[in-house]
Every structure is written in structure tokens, then in C-alpha cells.
Structure 1
């Protein structure tokens, strides 16, 4: 695996609101935050660009990610790292799943910087992360999807069907790589490749 010298790490929705278990339910991958932090540190130390994405639900909604609620804030380990890198940094705010539909325009920023490779981490695996990966692939970016640097939650769907967070993560990984949208990797693989 090759990591471009200007590959952008895109850190999606790592916000305190996702700690509200009574709202979201049971999560998977308890080591996700440790891997996210290691990747942010590696990117900042190398001078590569980092994009921090924040989901902003409507103020009147019940979502823990709504503006004005403490859940809207980044988790402490992310907030402590913002602004500390040697490379370019961007904050994108969005109200939908894809980071490419936020402000400022992520696609324009990446293209303006000549960035062709993005590395995705954050929350949730099968929601905003997957949607951003699919759009990134459609837009022509080389997308690395760091499966152990993200997590999701058990989910209920139609017809009484349910899926565990692990099942959803596996399905996302298979769909993204099998469909050619992204390459699914581990944090260790990315850290090793980025350090070369």
C-alpha cells in the first residue's frame, strides 16, 4: 500500500453525542478511538493534511449531535489535536451523511490542493463513513477505509430485521471493496505505509 505525501486524513463526526448509548444502542470496536488518535498524530507529525468533519443536526431535533447540545462537540481527544499539525487543516460542517455535502466544499478543497487520496476514519462505519467513501470513489479519489478506526451501532430495519454493529461493519467493508469504491484496511497497515 502506498500513502501519498499529500494524502488527506478525513476524520468524520467524532463527536461526544455518539457516547449517548441510550440513544444509539450497543456499539462495536472499542479500540476505534485509540486507532483514530494514532492516525491523527501520524498525519500531523508528517505534515499531511487533516480534515475534521462535524455533523450538525437541526437545533430542534432529538439528535445528540444537534447544535447547542454538548454532543455536538468533538470528543476531547480530537479537540485537543485540532490545530496542532504541521500540514493543512480543514473543518467541514455537514447536516447529511456525506462529508462531500458540507461547508466548505470538501471536493473543491481537495482538488485545489492536488489531493487524490483520502483516508477515512470516524463514526459511523455504515452511515457517514460509508456514504463519504462511496462519493469519494465516484469522484475519482483513491479511498482507504480504515475499518478498525471507526465504529457503528446495532440497528433495526424493515420486516423486523436487525443487524449487529459487527455485521453492519462487515457488510460495509464487503460492499465498499467488492464494489470498487474503496480499499478496506487496518490502522496498522496505514501507519506502516505512511511512515515509509
Structure 2
């Protein structure tokens, strides 16, 4: 095995962050990137379920007025996630960027389950995915982020500065791996590595 080979633990947890219908509202969010994100997330969910690894679904509950508010249709998971949900998936509900500040307590569940490796995918790349991955790294987990199983939106900042969704995703990749929070990988690399530890 090469030095850079990906090793997926038998109990590696897949965190699927905020893959909710409200993110399909372009009039609310603006221009997105990576149309392949949903297909890649679905493939990872299938692989994790097929190999008996745990899946954690995270759902954002925004304030009233948001398309992600609990009383809005957009609060629901996208259909492909709901179809793959399964009774075994843990559901975490949060109101901030990090999945570690949600209910039930994610870190407590991971500790009780003895899980030390996390794969973090979902929406938005530079918001809840990056924040959750950074915090996981700070907490000492081994974190893998398949960037092509995430997407985000163009965003305006201070003083007229704005960045495209692709530029923000690139920044996330640099922040996470360059900063030592996580290893940035591809969905294909994870799918190739995932079945290995379950082979007798």
C-alpha cells in the first residue's frame, strides 16, 4: 500500500450534511457549483450502507423566513437522501454551522460508538461542511472530505468582494488540507477504498 493510500476504517462514519430541498431554491441562494455533488453523495451513502458502516444525517433548522426553517418544505431532505435514510442512520438537527453543536450530541455518540474516522460530505462546502470538518479535526478525529461530494454558492463579502462557488470550494480544500484539519479526497478514491476492510 502506498504512503498516500486511503484506508477506510470498518466503522468510519459518513456525515451527510444538510442535503435539504431548500438548497434547490436558486432564487434564494444564487448560482451553485458542482452539479455532480448529489450523485456522489448518493454513491457514498450506498457504499456505506452496503459495507455496514454508520451514516449520520445532519439537518439544518434555520430561523423563520429561511427556506430551511422547520415549517418550510425546504427543511426536508432531498428525495435521494430520504430514500437511503434507513433506520440505522443517526439524525442530528442543528441551528448553526457545526454538526457538533446539534441534537443529539454528535461527539458523545461517536465516542460511545468508538468511532475515530469521519467522512464529511454535503452542503455547503465552505459553510457547514468546512466548519464541521475543522471542528472534527480539532477534536482529534481523522477527517476525510470528498470535495466532489459537496457544493456551494457564489457569495458576496465586504467592500464589494465576491467569490464564485468554485473559488470558495478551492479555498475550502486549501484551508482543510493545508491547515491540517482534514484530508481532501475524491468520491472515487473513497469508493475504491471502502470495501477493502470488509473483505475476509
Aligned 1:181-192 pairs, distance under 5 A: 181-192=181-192
The CA distance in 1 between the partners of 2:176 and 2:41, in whole Å, is: 20
The CA distance in 1 between the partners of 2:112 and 2:132, in whole Å, is: 19
Q: TM-score by structure 1 length?
A: 0.96
Runs of 4+ deviating beyond 4 Å:
none
The partner residue of 1:22 within 27, 30, 33 is: 27
Q: Deviations over 1:139-196 (max 9, x none)?
A: 0000001100010000000010000000000001001000000000000000001021
Local SS of the residue matching 1:98: coil
Task: Give 1:33 deviation, angstroms.
Answer: 0.3
Whether 1:159 and 2:159 are equivalent positions in the alignment is yes
1:76 paired residue number:
79
Specify every segment of 5 or more residues in structure 2 that has no aligned partner in the other structure, as ranges: 1-5
Aligned 1:1-196 pairs, distance under 5 A: 1-58=6-63, 60=64, 62-83=65-86, 88-196=88-196
Q: Deviations over 1:73-131 (max 9, x none)?
A: 000000011116xxx42000000000000000000000110000000110000000000
> How many residues are matched?
191
Specify every segment of 5 or more residues in structure 1 that has no aligned partner in the other structure, as ranges: none
